[in-house]
């Protein structure tokens, strides 16, 4: 096992697609997969290719787990807050309630998309033309992000120039490089004469710019820029794992779920809630209730994507150590809300995809990255990452959430409410059979230890990854389990 974990650790972030090559299965070798999220589905796909018999048990009414796209008629099974999505029956009107983006570095998922024939398009993640709005900044008025960013860079470069000590620079860089550095800063901040920042075309013009000469926008002082919490997150978030290019399946993230499910011989068994797991020397026996009826099944191996904290509530014969590890992976909180709008009014504001950021509870408004120039569109009207806000948000009914989203959205888009047609919301920490989003936790050691199987029971999903919340992590976890399973089969043969 150590070798495989080491290999995983050395896996480059920006890699070619990882694959697993399983030896052909011996006759009638069977694998049980608990939970039909993306990790189980991809594992079943690989196992079936190698000749294994698979059985997939899923507690809810649908496959895909958090890889969930809502369209007309879809059910949101939030506990005590069940909703039906009332969007128009139109394939372009969809809402990714879970993941919506595939970073270019996630080569394994991208590889599966190619292999399964899932068409991809660009997801506009960074859009400096979108708005920022923070009550303590600019009198609470919205501002284009590009304007904020250009001013922040400009004043920062000016400040750097001012603080540069030629004697120090000469010692560090030498005279010619000192001049280069000064030029670099001018270019970086778009500084004018005397190395002062007086505005930049990077902000966009207040008038003209093409036919007639452009007039620069007024600048905002650094002192004031600091008042917008935009710099704490929105300004830089698209420079980490969500840097361009970011991709998305055309028509919704669950196109991956349908594409892989269509290739499976064993379709996920829905409404099947696992109640007991008995890990035996040569296999795993599982008890489950399928629409209330108690059933029993058995396989040579079991891969479980059940959230660790729910797995603990299942009758089991895990060791105390394993149970302690499972208890060390609680789930985080996350909410999203989708709004069908009768007009794509944001495109008239020059916004084609991307994200507006606000200090209000909704945190973000995300705009569709496709279907430009069409009539209606679905916005992500709230995307809440803060635990504190999520604690408030989760107790609201869906109607109350929609009401708040409309009210808060008004500060970013005057007339927002007048475009509203229909909304749907998901608080993952209140979702049935889930009760949480990405696994959080203390030390990377716990996730690493959970990647080691308990006998023939493997925990899979992004919960065993160091950095969860990504399809790529889920799929890699499944491939790692399969590689170990394959090795065990050689020993057993």
Site for a copy of itself in 93-152 (CB under 8 A): 104-105, 107, 110, 113-114, 119-122, 124, 126-129, 144, 146, 149-150, 152
Q: Determine the Cα angle at 223 with ends 220 and 229, to 5°.
A: 90
Supply the minimum distance, in Å, between the C-beta of residue 233 and a copy of itself. Answer: 9
Among 132, 235, 394, 482, binds a copy of itself (CB under 8 A): 235
Does 202 sit near a copy of itself (CB under 8 A)?
yes
Among 480, 481, 482, 485, binds a copy of itself (CB under 8 A): 480
Supply the minimum distance, in Å, between the C-beta of residue 175 and a copy of itself. Answer: 13
Side-chain-side CA neighbours of 292 within 13 Å: the count stands at: 0
Site for a copy of itself in 8-27 (CB under 8 A): 8-14, 16
Residue 85, both tokens: 């999505």
Count interface residues toward a copy of itself (CB under 8 A): 98
Among 360, 363, 369, 446, binds a copy of itself (CB under 8 A): 369
Among 61, 82, 196, 236, binds a copy of itself (CB under 8 A): 236
Q: Residues with Cβ < 8 Å from 40, sequence gap 6 or more?
A: 33, 34, 56, 268, 303, 305, 460, 461, 478
Does 222 sit near a copy of itself (CB under 8 A)?
yes
Does 193 sit near a copy of itself (CB under 8 A)?
no
Report the alpha-carbon distance of residue 171 to residue 237 in Å, rounded.
35
Among 387, 414, 415, 444, binds a copy of itself (CB under 8 A): 444
Among 181, 270, 449, 452, binds a copy of itself (CB under 8 A): 181
Instruction: Give the bridge partners for 55, in sequence order.
Output: 32
Among 77, 92, 195, 231, binds a copy of itself (CB under 8 A): 231
Q: Which is nearer to a copy of itself, 222 or 487 (CB)?
A: 222
Supply the minimum distance, in Å, between the C-beta of residue 479 and a copy of itself. Answer: 9
Site for a copy of itself in 261-280 (CB under 8 A): none
Side-chain-side CA neighbours of 57 within 13 Å: the count stands at: 28
Report the alpha-carbon distance of residue 169 to residue 162 in Å, rounded.
13
Among 80, 193, 223, 490, binds a copy of itself (CB under 8 A): 223
* Order of strands across the sheet that contains 293-299: 293-299, 283-290, 272-280, 315-316
Q: Which is nearer to a copy of itself, 231 or 420 (CB)?
A: 231
Burial class (CB in 10 A: 0-12, 13-18, 19+), 104: middle
Residue 398, both tokens: 């869906």
Count CB atoms within 10 A of the CB of residue 346: 25
């Amino acid at each position: 096992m150590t070798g495989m974990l080491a290999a995983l650790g050395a896996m480059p972030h920006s890699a070619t697609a990882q694959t697993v090559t399983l030896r052909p299965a011996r006759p009638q070798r069977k694998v049980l997969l608990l939970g039909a999220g993306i990790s189980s589905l991809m594992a079943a796909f690989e196992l079936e290719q190698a000749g294994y018999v698979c059985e997939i048990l899923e507690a809810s009414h649908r496959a895909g787990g958090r890889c969930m796209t809502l369209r007309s008629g879809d059910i949101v099974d939030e506990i005590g807050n069940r909703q039906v999505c009332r969007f128009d029956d139109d394939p372009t009107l969809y809402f990714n309630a879970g993941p919506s983006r595939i970073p270019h570095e996630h080569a394994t998922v991208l590889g599966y998309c190619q292999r399964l024939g899932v068409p991809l398009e660009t997801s506009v993640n960074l859009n400096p033309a979108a708005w920022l709005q923070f009550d303590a900044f600019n009198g609470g008025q919205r501002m284009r992000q590009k304007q904020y960013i250009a001013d922040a860079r400009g004043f920062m470069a000016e400040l750097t120039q001012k603080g540069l000590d030629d004697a120090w620079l000469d010692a560090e860089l030498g005279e010619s490089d000192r001049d280069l550095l000064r030029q670099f800063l001018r270019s970086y901040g778009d500084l004018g004469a005397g190395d002062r920042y007086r505005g930049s075309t990077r902000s966009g013009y207040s008038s003209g710019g093409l036919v007639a000469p452009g007039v620069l926008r007024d600048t905002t002082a650094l002192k004031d820029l600091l008042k917008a919490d935009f710099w704490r997150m929105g300004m830089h978030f698209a420079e980490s794992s969500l840097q361009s290019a970011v991709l998305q399946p055309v028509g919704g993230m669950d196109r991956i779920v349908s594409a892989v499910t269509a290739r499976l011989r064993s379709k996920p068994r829905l409404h099947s809630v696992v109640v007991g797991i008995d890990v035996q020397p040569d296999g795993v026996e599982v008890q489950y209730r399928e629409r209330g009826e108690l059933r029993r099944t058995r396989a040579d191996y079991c891969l479980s994507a059940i959230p660790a904290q729910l797995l603990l509530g299942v009758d089991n014969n895990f060791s105390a150590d394993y149970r302690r590890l499972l208890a060390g992976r609680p789930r985080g909180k996350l909410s999203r809300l989708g709004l069908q709008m009768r007009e794509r009014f944001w495109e008239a504001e020059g916004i084609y995809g991307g994200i507006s950021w606000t200090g209000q509870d909704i945190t973000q408004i995300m705009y569709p990255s496709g279907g430009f120039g069409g009539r209606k569109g679905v916005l992500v009207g709230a995307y809440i990452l803060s635990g504190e806000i999520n604690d408030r948000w989760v107790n609201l009914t869906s109607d109350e959430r929609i009401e708040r989203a409309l009210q808060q959205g008004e500060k970013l888009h005057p007339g927002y409410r007048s475009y509203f047609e229909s909304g749907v919301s998901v608080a993952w920490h209140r979702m049935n059979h889930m009760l949480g989003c990405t696994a959080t936790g203390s030390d990377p050691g716990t996730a690493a230890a959970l990647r080691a199987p308990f006998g023939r029971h493997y925990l899979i999903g992004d919960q065993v990854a160091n950095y969860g919340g990504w399809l790529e992590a889920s799929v890699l976890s499944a491939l790692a389990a399969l590689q170990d399973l394959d090795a065990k089969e050689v020993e057993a043969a």
